[in-house]
Amino acid sequence: MSADKNILPVHIGFIMDGNGRWAEKKGLPRTAGHAEGARAFRRIARYCKKIGIKNITFYAFSTENWKRPREEVNAIMSLFMQYLDEAEDFAKDNTRLIFLGDKSPFDAKMRERMVYLEKASENFDEMTLAVAMNYGGRDDIVHSVKRIAGLVKNGDISLSDIDESLVSSLLYTGTMPDVDLLIRPGGEKRISNFLIWQSSYAEFYFTDVLWPDFSSGELDKALKEFSSRSRRFGGV
């Protein structure tokens, strides 16, 4: 491993983009790209664990992705369900699993499985792996604001108790630190409503490599770049 341990990011966010184009380039259906993307997800999660990254979040399905053709949505859901069925193996790995986003649109089996895995792994502390499913950054903030409004309404807190750390703690990522490295393969240079609050001070790493081709070597390149940037958090 080439990156210096001392300057590893604490939380990496991955926007898994380019699955469709990867498949189209090979004359395959887009769903084949998602299947290969799911393999890349496993590969990169394992590698992050191996090199000692403590928190990773993958953008798997956005609040806007429901607009895709039904066949494609179903294929992504079935890849996700396959992962949920085998995810308990992560228990052996001392990895805490969490799912970010509103779970209510998913079918009961999927919802129960997500809740079960979160509960079963809640005390594992070597790494936290978050999968953003039906996630949107703005929706995350609205969800936090609603929870705060509820606390104020019940008299549990007053207006003066509302600060950045309270808003952060009530986001879906409430138990995770801020993102310090955000990686977007697939050639686009935008955040697409992913972890917008949590990435306020993140370093961004963009590459034209498509997500299914994203390898541990590509991650090493991103880590090298991260460790070479000077991070001043608005100071001098």
Which of 3, 8, 32, 38 is close enough to bind ligand FPP by CB under 6 A? 38
Active site residue 65: yes
CA distance 220 to 9: 12
Q: Any contact of residue 18 with ligand FPP (CB under 6 A)?
A: yes
106, amino acid identity = F
User: Pairing between strand 11-15 and 203-206?
Assistant: unpaired
Q: Any contact of residue 21 with ligand FPP (CB under 6 A)?
A: yes
Q: Any contact of residue 37 with ligand FPP (CB under 6 A)?
A: yes
Which of 56, 60, 182, 222 is close enough to bind ligand FPP by CB under 6 A? 60
CB of 235 to ligand FPP, least distance (A): 36
**Contacting range for ligand FPP; rule: CB under 6 A; set: 4-12, 57-65, 105-113, 141-149:** 57-65
Total chain residues near ligand FPP (CB under 6 A): 19
**Contacting range for ligand FPP; rule: CB under 6 A; set: 10-18, 142-150, 151-159, 176-184:** 10-18
Report yes or no: 89 and 49 within 8 Å, Cβ to Cβ: no
CB of 122 to ligand FPP, least distance (A): 19
Q: Any contact of residue 83 with ligand FPP (CB under 6 A)?
A: yes
Between residue 123 and residue 182, which ones bind ligand FPP under the rule CB under 6 A? Answer: 131
Cα R_g (the chain), whole angstroms? 18
Q: Which residues pair with 14 in a beta bridge?
A: 58, 183
Q: Any contact of residue 13 with ligand FPP (CB under 6 A)?
A: no
CB of 78 to ligand FPP, least distance (A): 9
CB of 30 to ligand FPP, least distance (A): 6
Active site residue 17: yes
* φ/ψ of residue 87, rounded to 5: -65, -15
Active-site residue, selected from the candidate residues 65, 139, 193, 213: 65
Q: Which is nearer to ligand FPP, 9 or 186 (CB)?
A: 186
Q: Any contact of residue 17 with ligand FPP (CB under 6 A)?
A: yes
> What is the set of active-site residues?
17, 65
Using CB under 6 A as the criterion, which residues of the chain lie in contact with ligand FPP when the complex forms? 16-21, 34, 37-38, 41, 58, 60, 65, 76, 79-80, 83, 131, 186
